[in-house]
């Protein structure tokens, strides 16, 4: 046998028949049944062997197959022929997997088959179609049982006719045997008579000799006639005896076959009842599943309505929020061009305080490169970098690097970063330390480094009076008092003013005093500070106050 591809079979125009095993099965179920089985090509091959395991249900699609059964002498006899559309193997398939007859392909034929597990799976998945398939199998078996019963009855009638013929032949033989015995008696009497006449008379008369000759000739003819008749009767008797023996053997074979078919029919009836019961249970389960599906659909519809209502509520809430007026005090203030210009001017004059600063890219993305420009590091919008210095030839650009390395650098326009916003707190603290009160326009704006830490306000001192001399003004005050609204305020710039109680807060990250942990101040002239100031753009070593 050779397995065929389903595509090749369909391309050749072969399909499962819609009668017999596949009767009253829907199109979708037919597709599932067709695709669930296998297609086989056989040429004069034995498909099923008598007495061997058989796990497939076969259907003839094209060609013919013969059903064979061995008699008592071991000779194989063909008992049936199946054409296209017929099925076989269902008894062994359903009753335990042992075949009761052999099946052989006659010439070339195409068959479809399905094993036991796939058929059970198909029956379980397709309730109505599976039940119909079981009913079709039961109908096929019932039809074969009826056909077998008819054959048995026909053979019984033939046997009865043969027995009647044998009885008539036996009666004729008996009559022939009685006539033969009578003729033999006459011959013996004639012989005895001739013997007696020979004893009484020593010579034969001419009349006696003629009579003797005639009696001998008649006796010889009758003996030959009876001998010939006896030989033909014997031959007929032998032939009839052989035929009777053959009929008796066939009768026993068909009687055994009838008993087996009756037993299989009983098993099939029981299996049909169990399949019908399973079909009813499957229909009940399907009905319950349909009810569950309806309930689930109702629940889904209710959930969809709730979801639609929730979406409507969200839309209404969004519209309400969008329609709500925004308080003026929550709007983030914007820096004026004058503030930005003054901040940048201060940063160029105090590069050691303005740099380095951590900034954020707010414009388009940039790319950092090394000095050989072989390695490139892309930085997306929102990425954090470190501003190193102003560009020496382009006043609107700054040089940036990675947060913890100066290996990769790039040039970025000032307005494409929050450099002004980061440097603004340093500028404001510096100006407040000089007595100028400048407000930070970036306070309240969501940014990387916009909050201005609390600083120590400028100290005001009252004029000192002494008993020694009314003109003494250079003595360091021993007591500090805040100036009142009625007293005259004199601002002073002590060289080493007393640190306020919020000194630690002023040294927090982002403040002016902690902008660079290595920065000793704008007036420091140590070796490190001088080298750093000269390296960062050539800023003034001692900037004007």
User: Which has more pLDDT, 357 or 458?
Assistant: 357
pLDDT tops 70 at residue 339: yes
Between CA 338 and CA 345, with CA 341 as vertex, the angle to 5 degrees is: 140
Band the pLDDT of 194: cuts 50, 70, 90: very low
- Whole-number pLDDT of residue 317: 83
Judge whether residue 423 has pLDDT over 90: yes
Going by their DSSP bridges, the two strands 102-115 and 366-369 should be labelled as unpaired
CA-CA distance, 331 to 193, in Å (whole number)? Answer: 167
Average pLDDT over residues 51-67: 88
Q: Is the pLDDT of residue 43 over 60?
A: yes
Copy the structure tokens of residue 239: 């032939």
Return the pLDDT at 202: 43
Percent of the chain at pLDDT > 90 equals 15
Cα separation, 409 vs 392, whole angstroms: 14
* Domain spanning 2-125, CATH architecture: Sandwich (2.60)
Per-residue pLDDT of 301-314, as tens digits, reads 989 888 888 888 88
As a residue count, the chain comes to 545
pLDDT at 157: 81
Instruction: Give residue 19's pLDDT.
Output: 81
Which is higher by pLDDT, 140 or 512?
A: 140
Domain locations in the chain? 2-125, 152-196+206-316, 337-460+494-517
How much of the chain, in percent, has pLDDT values that exceed 70? 68
293 pLDDT higher than 90:
yes
Cα–Cα dist 348/350, whole Å: 6
Q: Is the pTM of this model over 0.95?
A: no
Torsion of CA 125, 126, 128, 133, to 10 degrees: -110
Distance of alpha carbon 227 from alpha carbon 249, whole angstroms: 33
CB-CB contact of 79 with 101 (8 Å): yes
H-helix or E-strand spanning residue 378? strand 376-379
pLDDT band, very low/low/confident/very high, at 225 (cuts 50, 70, 90):
low
Task: Please provide the distance, in angstroms rounded to a whole number, between the alpha carbons at the two ends of the chain.
Answer: 107
Residue of 414, 441, 396, 408 whose CA lies nearest to 357: 414
Q: What interhelical angle do 127-200 and 27-36 show, nearest 10?
A: 70
Convert the pLDDT of each residue in 72-101 to its tens digit: 777 888 888 988 888 888 776 676 678 888
Contact status, residue 44 vs residue 105, Cβ threshold 8 Å? yes
- Arithmetic mean of pLDDT over the chain: 74
| pLDDT score at 359 | 93
């Amino acid at each position: 046998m050779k397995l065929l591809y389903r595509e090749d079979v369909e391309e050749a125009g072969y399909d499962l028949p819609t009668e017999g095993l596949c009767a009253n099965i829907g199109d979708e179920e037919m597709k599932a049944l067709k695709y669930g089985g296998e297609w086989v090509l056989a040429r004069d091959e034995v498909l099923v062997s008598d007495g061997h395991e058989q796990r497939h249900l076969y259907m003839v699609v094209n060609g013919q197959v013969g059903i064979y059964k061995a008699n008592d002498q071991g000779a194989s006899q063909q008992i049936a022929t199946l054409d296209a559309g017929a099925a076989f193997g269902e008894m062994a398939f359903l009753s335990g997997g042992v075949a009761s007859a052999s099946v052989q392909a006659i010439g070339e034929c195409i068959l479809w088959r399905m094993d036991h597990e796939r058929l059970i799976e198909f029956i379980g998945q397709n309730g109505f179609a599976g039940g119909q398939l079981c009913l079709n199998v039961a109908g096929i078996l019932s039809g074969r049982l009826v056909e077998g019963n008819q054959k048995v009855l026909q053979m019984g009638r033939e046997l009865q006719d043969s027995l009647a013929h044998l009885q008539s032949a036996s009666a004729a033989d008996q009559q022939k045997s009685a006539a033969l015995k009578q003729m033999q008696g006459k011959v013996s009497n004639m012989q005895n008579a001739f013997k007696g006449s020979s004893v009484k008379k020593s010579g034969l008369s001419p009349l006696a000799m003629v009579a003797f000759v005639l009696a001998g000739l008649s006796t010889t003819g009758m003996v030959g006639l009876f001998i010939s008749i006896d030989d033909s009767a014997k031959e007929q008797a032998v032939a009839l005896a052989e035929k009777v023996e053959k009929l008796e053997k066939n009768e026993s074979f068909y009687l055994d076959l009838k008993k087996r078919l009756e037993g299989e029919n009983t098993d099939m009836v029981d299996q049909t009842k169990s399949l019908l019961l399973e079909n009813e249970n499957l229909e009940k389960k399907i009905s319950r599943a349909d009810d569950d599906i309806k309930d689930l659909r109702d629940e889904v519809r209710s959930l969809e309505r709730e979801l639609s209502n929730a979406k409507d509520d969200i839309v209404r809430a969004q519209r309400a929020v969008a329609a709500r007026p925004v308080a003026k005090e929550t709007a983030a203030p914007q820096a004026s061009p004058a503030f930005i210009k003054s901040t940048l001017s201060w940063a160029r004059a105090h590069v050691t305080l303005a740099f380095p600063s951590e900034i954020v890219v707010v414009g388009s993305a940039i790319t950092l490169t090394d000095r050989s420009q072989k390695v490139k590091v892309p930085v997306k919008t929102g990425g954090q970098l470190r501003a190193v210095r102003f560009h020496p030839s382009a006043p609107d650009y700054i040089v940036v690097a990675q947060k913890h390395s100066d290996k990769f650098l790039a040039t970025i326009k000032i307005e494409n970063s929050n450099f002004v916003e980061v440097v603004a707190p340093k500028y404001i603290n510096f100006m407040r330390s000089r007595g100028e009160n400048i407000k930070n326009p970036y306070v309240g704006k969501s940014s990387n480094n916009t909050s201005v830490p609390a600083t120590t306000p400028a100290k005001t001192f009252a004029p000192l009076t002494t008993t020694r001399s009314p003109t003494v003004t250079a003595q360091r005050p021993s007591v500090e008092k805040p100036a009142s609204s009625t007293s005259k305020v004199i601002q002073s710039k002590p060289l080493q003013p007393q640190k306020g109680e919020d000194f630690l807060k002023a040294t927090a990250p982002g403040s002016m005093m902690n902008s660079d942990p290595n920065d000793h101040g704008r007036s420091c002239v140590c070796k490190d500070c001088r080298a750093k100031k000269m390296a960062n753009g050539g800023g003034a070593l001692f900037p004007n106050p």
